[in-house]
Amino acid sequence: MSFTSQVKSELCKIELKKPCCLRAECYGAWLFSKCFTLKEGSYTTENPHVARRMLELAAAGAGASAQLTYAVSRRRQPAYKVTLPEEQERRRLVNEFGHSGLEPSLRINRGALEDSCCQVAFLRGVFLSCGNATDPNKGYHLEFAAPYKNLANDLYALLGEAEAFRISPSLVRRPGGYGVYLKDSGQIENLLTFLGATGASMELMQVKMYKEVKNNINRKTNFETANMDKTYSAAARQIAAIAAISDTVGLSSLPENLQELAALRLNEPELTLRQLGERLGVSRSGVNHRLQKLLEQGEKILKEKGVDGVM
Ligand SMILES: [Zn+2]
């Protein structure tokens, strides 16, 4: 099941207790369905819960009887078609919310949203009929596909002024309509929770947390790799210096403690200062001090030989 379908199925389980909110959800769902007109049209969905909900909303919210038939979706999947076959039913639906069905440009009639409680129900209806939410594993994107420009503008304004949550949607022209969308994971989470899809919202949050942990691990690994490069380049410099001593005056010319360290460094270039110290029973700073002496002496030899600065 797609993430969109999961969200919608969850929303369809919400029981509408208040008649005002039931009407508001009916209004939102049908207004954005492309069937909110006196002309005959049909709404097709692959989600059986959404199809059933549209049918029930029309009946309970506007007293209009719709019909449910089987169809094939644009993706050639089994789907459900919801229609209002009788013109009087279509008229009843649009009149219920203060529309004539003949408007040249469809807008949201704010007067039909009686109370503030109805706003969430209205938006839920809109999402049911034209919403899409991308699987959070693939990316963060939630979009309302509004059929007409003014409806898109009105929805954009309504979402932006919602008091329960702060979201700032974007508006874009799409082939055959307009998109009102969110890209911020936090805002998508808020909206899903607000609409009542708490399960989907939780899932999004979990995916986000998982991604963050994974990123942190990657960052840490990168950090360790970078440190390892540093160990290597420092070691390379030390080895060049030690080799210079060995090739000229010989390691045996060195004091015993430096000889020991020089031999160890030559054999184990990957060891860190701490590890060198552990091998020799010396502190890290002790090792560092001795390495500095080896570097000084070795680089002096290299300089005399005309090899200017190994690093
Ligand atoms: Zn209400």
- Tell me: do 226 and 183 sit in the same domain: no
177-216 tens-digit pLDDT:
999 999 999 999 999 999 999 999 988 888 888 888 777 7
Residue 307's pLDDT is 58
Q: What are phi and psi of 18, to 5 degrees?
A: -95, 130
260-288 tens-digit pLDDT:
999 888 888 788 889 999 999 999 999 99
pLDDT-above-70 percentage for the chain: 96
209 C-alpha vs ligand 1 centroid, how far in Å?
A: 35
pLDDT-above-90 percentage for the chain: 61
119 C-alpha vs ligand 1 centroid, how far in Å?
A: 7
More confident residue, 168 or 310: 168
79 C-alpha vs ligand 1 centroid, how far in Å?
A: 31
- Tell me: do 192 and 247 sit in the same domain: no
24 C-alpha vs ligand 1 centroid, how far in Å?
A: 7
Residue 126's pLDDT is 98
Residue 205, in any domain of the structure: no
* Domain encompassing residue 165: 3-196
- Tell me: do 115 and 178 sit in the same domain: yes
- Tell me: do 235 and 112 sit in the same domain: no
| Edge-to-edge strand list for the sheet holding 42-45 | 42-45, 78-83, 67-72
- Tell me: do 192 and 134 sit in the same domain: yes
CATH number of the domain residue 57 falls in: 3.10.28.10
Taking all residues of the chain, what is their mean pLDDT, rounded to a whole number? 89
Indicate the residue among 162, 196, 230 that finishes a domain. Answer: 196
The one-letter amino acid code at 189 reads E
- Tell me: do 135 and 250 sit in the same domain: no
Kindly tell me the burial class for residue 48, based on how many C-beta atoms sit within 10 Å of its own C-beta (0-12, 13-18, 19 or more): middle
Tally of domains within the chain: 2
**Exposure pattern of 251-276 as b/e (b: 16+ CB <10 Å)?**
beebeeebbbbbeebeeeeebbbeeb
User: Between the ranges 50-54, 111-115, 229-233, 258-262, where is the mean pLDDT highest?
Assistant: 50-54
